[in-house]
Chains A and B, each alone.
Chain A
Amino acid sequence: MSKLEIMLLVLAFGLLIFTVEIVRRRRLSENYAIAWMLVALVGVALGLARPLVDRLSKSLGIAYGTSLVFALAILFLVGVCINLSMHVSRLESRLETLARESAFLRGPMRPGPGADRPTGADRPTGQDRLEPGAEPDPAPES
């Protein structure tokens, strides 16, 4: 076993242990834990099955086995990034929905009696006041 393979194995086991530990402390949800544990297991497999990697890369026309591993790793990381950006996008739109709901729950602030009132036809009469709860709901998301 080469030094490189031993290093890969150590790294993979380290990742496995670290993942389990942060799930144990409830710092990471189990959904992501499964993905990272899978990565660690693939790492172990690659460390143990070097000939397999070489044969696979040869069949794909890649001269240097290690570059196949790199290519796969980059692909995986791109996938993770896209997944995370999708999650962030969803969180942003949910946050907006929540902030808007909070605005309606707080209720509108209005000038008190004696304050400078707007004049004109569209002046609030007090009868068509905005009531929180009378507002249309923000569209629920799936």
Chain B
Amino acid sequence: MLVIIPALNEEATVADVIASVGGHLDADILVIDDGSRDATAERAVAAGATVLRHPFNLGVGAALRTGFQYARAEGYQIAVQLDADGQHDPADAKRLVDLVADGTADLVVGSRFDPNLEGSGYEIGRVRRIGMKVLSRRVSRQLGTTVVDTTSGFRAFSREALVHFADSYPSAYLSDTVEALLLAGDWGLTVVEVPVRMHARMGGTASSGSLKSAFHLLRINLVLSLHRVRRPM
């Protein structure tokens, strides 16, 4: 099993995240340093991870695809994706992985919106919440399975899924999470969602801005509208 951690300027947290993953999963850890200007790569290696470095920033989607290609080449049967900023609790990763390991699913999404889970700890602004609701409804309808948290970056992949995604994975912001679900559906992969806890970020800053968010939301809606009639990637 391979845990893929895309990281950009996360020197403050990446070592703790790696240690935490090591404590919960028996897995190799691959950090994709996506053009960091700080000591992310050095900290990650010192903490025991394998590190691949992009020569400049390419975005989370591109970093993940690098990870999938590594996993494909090295013959890993399961891949787990989680954030380097400590938002995802590796203790939950086991539940994601189990569903892949027993063949229930090819792609398991860790959802941050579970009302039954105490202290799920994920709070967002109103515009973003409405946007995410729209995405959830549109994706769930096209996919035929309910996915509440379509933009979650806490996921587990089967060998079949990671081989497909190594070939084609959308690199644009939001497409890397949302459009990837539709692609999985196109390939006949089984998508399952599982509730997870969220931690507040241990460091770094959230990437947002309301005008930019609005643009990305418009963009991803265009992608969703055209997906069915579009030439495959």
A residues touching B (Cβ–Cβ < 8 Å)?
A: 20, 23-26, 29-31, 33-34, 94, 97-98, 101, 137-138, 140-142
Contacts and interface: CB of A to CB of B under 8 A. Distances in A.
Given A29-B172, A30-B172, A34-B218, A140 B226 contact: no
Interface in B191-233: 215, 218-219, 222-223, 226, 229-231, 233
Contact of A140 (B57, B218, B219): B57
A140 B233 contact: no
A138 B37 CA distance: 11
A140 B36 contact: yes
Contact of B231 (A26, A29, A34, A98): A26
Q: Which of A29, A137, A140, A141 has the most CB of B within 10 A?
A: A140
Nearest to B220: A30
B209 to A, nearest CB: 16
A23 B219 contact: no
Chain B contact surface mostly: loop
Contact of B56 (A23, A24, A25, A141): A141
A94 B222 contact: no
A30 to B, nearest CB: 5
B35 interface: yes
19 contacts: A20-B226, A24-B230, A25-B231, A26-B231, A26-B233, A30-B219, A31-B219, A34-B215, A34-B219, A97-B55, A101-B55, A137-B53, A137-B55, A138-B55, A140-B36, A140-B55, A141-B35, A142-B35, A142-B37
Nearest to B41: A137
Contacts of A30: 172, 219, 222-223
B56 A26 contact: no
A20 B229 CA distance: 11
